[in-house]
Structure 1
Amino acid sequence: MDLTDRPRRLRTDGVRPLVSETDLDASDLVAPVFVDATTDERVPIESMPGHERVPVDQAAARVAEVRETGVEAVIVFGIPESKDDVGTRAYAEDGVVQRAVRDVAAETDAYVITDVCLCEYTDHGHCGVVEEDAAEDPTLTVKNDETLDLLRKTAVSHVEAGADMVAPSSMTDGMVGAIREGLDDSGLAEAPIMSYAAKYESAFYGPFRDAADGAPAFGDRRHYQMDPANAREALREARLDAEQGADVLMVKPALPYLDVVSSLRREFDRPIAAYNVSGEYAMLHAAADRGWLDLEEVAYESLLSVKRAGAELIVTYFAEDLADRL
């Protein structure tokens, strides 16, 4: 047997870190922050251990806590004080995200990304203006073109409040182009867009919908979020967003779609992001609580796999937990 080629030679402690192919750093991570206009105290999120909704006046303090760990970027989600059928509070000047971002921008040096969608702000929980009688007819869905103007207004209001980047997540056809046009026309051409380019209709979103109070009141989101069976379609979606001006392309969720992350990395010259979603976070916590897994080790290995697949940045609820190790 020829043993001249021995890969184990490069696995000893001294050389192992020198030949490591993938590095994961705290600066690669984006920490989600939930700001709640309906509470005056922090509220733990039961399905996401270690995370909580914070009142608007504590948003800057919460982001400062994130920064102290070495994580440099946050993505802000809002829970408004009221909802209606067209998500008015999403683009209100005094909306929950707008108020929080002003404080965060003024009091911290964090890089602030905002989620641009309507599901948290509509009383029906869908990501845009729904068709008439949609509650009774499951074949009906969100009105695509009527939703674009609301997304545009929301993104502009976030950047005017101080957001460094906006991240449209509604999977509305043309959303990146509409937002790019709105930002440019408002004198905000320097603000980048991180598009949720390939966002799947996934079963891994459950805890987030509890956290952000954004579950659909009827039906589901299969008519506008991607079919989990489709990989080539992700390239089409990402290409359209890139052509419309997306600066970063995101895949959501991360772990079940590493093939998609890898495909986008090979195909596009833009940074690729991946969202390590709430269900991925919750299932590792649940297994660790039973003593089946070492939480820190599996969290680290999970994020390392996302980075290895080709994501330059990772939105993850593990950001603060792993920052010291990284």
Structure 2
Amino acid sequence: MSFEPTDRPRRLRTDGIRPLVQETSLDAQDLIAPVFVDETIEERLPISSMPGHERVPVDEAAARVAEIRETGVEAVIVFGVPDSKDAVGSEAYAEDGVVQRGIREISANTDAYIIGDVCLCEYTDHGHCGVIEPHAEDDPTLTVKNDETLELLAQTAVSQAEAGADMVAPSSMTDGMVGAIRAALDEAGFEHVPIMSYAAKYESSFYGPFRDAADGAPAFGDRRHYQMDPANSREALREVRADVQEGADVLMVKPALPYLDVVSEVRREVDQPVAAYNVSGEYAMLHAAADKGWLDLEATAYESLLSIKRAGADLILTYFAEDLADKL
């Protein structure tokens, strides 16, 4: 055979040059680690569907975050499990709510960058992300009352900022949530607190383990009337544009791996930083396959997060944060 290739990309794949021409890099400072603070427990409680993760009591929140910081991860997002729930999720915006107490504990004892998750689903007795009509469990067309929910989300964000949150992250997919929260933060004197909006959050089947971890599954119905249809990508850009106009500082896509095309499109659309949530189901399925011996957990986790960065995410919220950061 006399043919010789005219282009030889393999020249740049040897060990000496390979790192120098690498197009995408992953660093511990790109990662955000989730923390679950639970005021119903007195000692740490492993989360069975999310190996390696646990709920922690409020008085251990700072110690948990200190463990995360030791790996090189600097940012955490705080989720709460309250000891009581009601129809309007009042514990979400209570001064002494579980997330507010956890944030104070973390802020007073660590140098972590603290993000507060702003949503009501973990605090409502019906498990939906806002105010619903009485007896809505009998209504197959359940719809969360959008505008009535905005005030509660704004109160939640302000209460977290007062507790010491460095950033707030509304995740309820309520129309106008960024604008309402921005106005409330500014009015309360927190103009410096940025908003990371879950701008394109899909009604996904990949959330199961998180709902177990945060006790946030709907008691009835589903969330298809306020979370996005997985079939839609143009709609994501509409959501993102609206959030940018309302003052969002960072735009989140959730989930990450099944929606890398959306991450890429959002990256091209906006100048703001783009975040992606490598969700609980993505984490759990890799663990399950690794337990079967079908793949190498660390290698596939790294490749997964690298693909999210390559698609255009600047920040990645991931349950792999500690394990990978310690090795990066």
Alignment partners' CA distance in 1, 2:326 and 2:90: 40
User: Who is 1:168 aligned against?
Assistant: 170
Give the alignment partner of residue 319 of structure 2, picking from 314, 317, 324: 317
**1:183 partnered with 2:193:** no
User: Who is 1:238 aligned against?
Assistant: 240
Alignment partners' CA distance in 2, 1:230 and 1:133: 31
Percent identical among aligned pairs is 80
Q: Is the 8 A contact 2:198 2:251 kept in 1?
A: yes
Pairs within 5 Å for 1:94-243: 94-243=96-245
> How much does 1:2 deviate?
4.7
Classify the secondary structure of the residue corresponding to 2:203: coil
Alignment partners' CA distance in 2, 1:284 and 1:54: 24
> How much does 1:325 deviate?
1.7
User: Who is 1:86 aligned against?
Assistant: 88
Gaps of 5+ in 1: none
- What do the CA deviations read for 1:230-261 (whole angstroms, capped 9, x no partner)? 00000000000010000000000000000000
Amino acid at match of 2:246: Q
Alignment partners' CA distance in 2, 1:271 and 1:220: 30
> How much does 1:131 deviate?
1.8
User: Who is 2:286 aligned against?
Assistant: 284
Classify the secondary structure of the residue corresponding to 1:135: helix
Alignment partners' CA distance in 1, 2:239 and 2:24: 27
Gaps of 5+ in 2: none
Alignment partners' CA distance in 2, 1:138 and 1:296: 43
Alignment partners' CA distance in 1, 2:66 and 2:5: 54
- What do the CA deviations read for 1:27-74 (whole angstroms, capped 9, x no partner)? 000000000010010000000000000000000000000000100000
Alignment partners' CA distance in 1, 2:133 and 2:99: 27
User: Who is 2:298 aligned against?
Assistant: 296
Amino acid at match of 2:217: A
User: Who is 1:24 aligned against?
Assistant: 26
Q: TM-score, normalised by structure 2?
A: 0.99
- What do the CA deviations read for 1:253-311 (whole angstroms, capped 9, x no partner)? 00000000000000100000000000000000000000000000000000000000000
Pairs within 5 Å for 1:35-74: 35-74=37-76
Aligned length: 326
Runs of 4+ in 1 over 2 A off after TM superposition: none
User: Who is 1:272 aligned against?
Assistant: 274
> How much does 1:115 deviate?
0.4
Amino acid at match of 1:31: A
> How much does 1:134 deviate?
1.3
Q: Is the 8 A contact 2:142 2:221 kept in 1?
A: no
Greater Cα offset, 42-51 or 4-13? 4-13
Amino acid at match of 1:48: M
> How much does 1:133 deviate?
2.7
- What do the CA deviations read for 1:110-136 (whole angstroms, capped 9, x no partner)? 000010000000000000001233100
Classify the secondary structure of the residue corresponding to 2:87: coil
Greater Cα offset, 125-134 or 11-20? 125-134
Coordinate RMSD, CA, aligned: 0.6
Alignment partners' CA distance in 2, 1:226 and 1:250: 13
Classify the secondary structure of the residue corresponding to 1:322: helix
Amino acid at match of 1:43: L
Alignment partners' CA distance in 2, 1:137 and 1:267: 38
Pairs within 5 Å for 1:248-259: 248-259=250-261
> How much does 1:138 deviate?
1.4
Alignment partners' CA distance in 2, 1:324 and 1:196: 27
Greater Cα offset, 127-136 or 205-214? 127-136
